């Protein structure tokens, strides 16, 4: 980022390539809509470009990036008066079993089913737990960084992550047992 601030556009290209997908998915999981995720991620990258001179190399770039992303998401939620729906009814979360085609082997089918299931379970997590989980999985941030970004304590982050993982585990076990 420091190199980019000095005029090295290749440095920015590298940063962008490394982080673009994770940031996009961060917004996609939070908003559930691809068009909003595109718009928000574009806004955040524009902010990053504008704030290149204010960047302090003491912080990790990912922390800096997701701090902007978190704030922008909060602004977006407030502006749009979007209330992220906390789905409590587990009956709606049941997945339709994927239809097996002749060419697909059985283990591949199971794998596809598991991936769709985990994404669906993540979607159903409470917003705070979901954000902590995504920041850990997508951005690879540790608990301290997540706490800093979400302006909460480390213990709170740890607790949210534990709850999120527990719910995902329960959801997976329950689905596999049923099938």
Partner 1 sequence: MNEHNDTTNSDDDISKLYAQASTEQPPLHIDDAILAAAQTLIKDKPSATIAFSRRWAVPVSIAAVIIMSVSLVTLIQHEIPEELTSLPESVLSQAAPKKPALTNSEAKESLLARMREDSAAIALKDKQPIALARKPAASKRSEKIVSSPSPKTLVAAEEEIAFTESLAPLEPQADTPQVASVDISATPRKEKPKRKFAPRQMENKAAMAAFMATAPTPSCESLPISDCLVSLQCTLTTKDKGYICRKARNHCEQDFSQKTGTAEQCTTKPNCQFIPGKCFCPPDVICVCGGGPPRMCVPG
Give whole-number Cα distances, 38 to 7, 26, 35, 42, 107, in Å: 26, 11, 5, 6, 33
Structure tokens at 148: 């800093």
127-137 helix and 106-124 helix, angle to the nearest 10 degrees: 130
Of residues 148-167, those binding partner 1 (CB under 8 A): 165
Indicate whether 54 belongs to the interface with partner 1 (CB under 8 A).
no
Among 77, 118, 128, 154, binds partner 1 (CB under 8 A): 118
Indicate whether 174 belongs to the interface with partner 1 (CB under 8 A).
no
Distance CA 175, CA 179 (A): 6
Indicate whether 144 belongs to the interface with partner 1 (CB under 8 A).
no
Distance CA 107, CA 120 (A): 20
Least gap, CB of 53 to partner 1 (angstroms): 11
By beta-carbon proximity to partner 1, the closer residue of 27 and 150 is 27
Indicate whether 147 belongs to the interface with partner 1 (CB under 8 A).
no
Tell me which stretch binds partner 1 (CB under 8 A): 56-64, 78-86, 109-117, 148-156: 109-117
Give whole-number Cα distances, 119 to 12, 66, 130, 133, 149, in Å: 30, 21, 11, 12, 23
Among 32, 38, 80, 87, binds partner 1 (CB under 8 A): 38
143-150 helix and 61-80 helix, angle to the nearest 10 degrees: 40
Q: How many residues bind partner 1 (CB under 8 A)?
A: 33
Among 1, 30, 31, 41, binds partner 1 (CB under 8 A): 41
Asked if residues 168 and 120 have their Cβ atoms less than 8 Å apart, the reply is no
Distance CA 76, CA 31 (A): 10
Give the footprint of partner 1 on this chain (CB under 8 A). Answer: 4, 7, 9, 12-13, 16, 20-21, 24-25, 28, 34, 37-38, 41-42, 45-46, 49-50, 111, 114-116, 118-119, 122, 137-138, 165, 168-169, 172
């Amino acid at each position: 980022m420091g190199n980019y601030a000095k005029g090295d556009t290749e440095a920015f290209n590298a940063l962008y390539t490394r982080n673009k997908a994770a940031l996009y998915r961060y917004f996609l999981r939070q908003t559930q809509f691809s068009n909003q995720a595109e718009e928000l991620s574009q806004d955040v990258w524009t902010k990053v470009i504008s704030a290149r001179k204010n960047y302090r190399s003491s912080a990790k770039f990912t922390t800096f990036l997701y701090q902007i992303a978190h704030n922008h998401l909060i602004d977006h939620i407030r502006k749009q008066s979007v209330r992220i729906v906390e789905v409590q009814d587990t009956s709606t979360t049941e997945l339709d079993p994927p239809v097996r085609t002749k060419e697909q082997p059985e283990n591949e089918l199971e794998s596809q089913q598991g991936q769709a299931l985990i994404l669906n379970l993540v979607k159903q997590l409470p917003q705070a737990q979901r954000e902590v989980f995504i920041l850990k999985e997508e951005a690879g941030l540790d608990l301290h960084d997540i706490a800093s970004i979400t302006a909460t304590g480390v213990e709170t982050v740890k607790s949210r992550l534990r709850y999120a993982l527990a719910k995902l585990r329960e959801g997976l076990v329950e689905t596999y047992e049923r099938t």
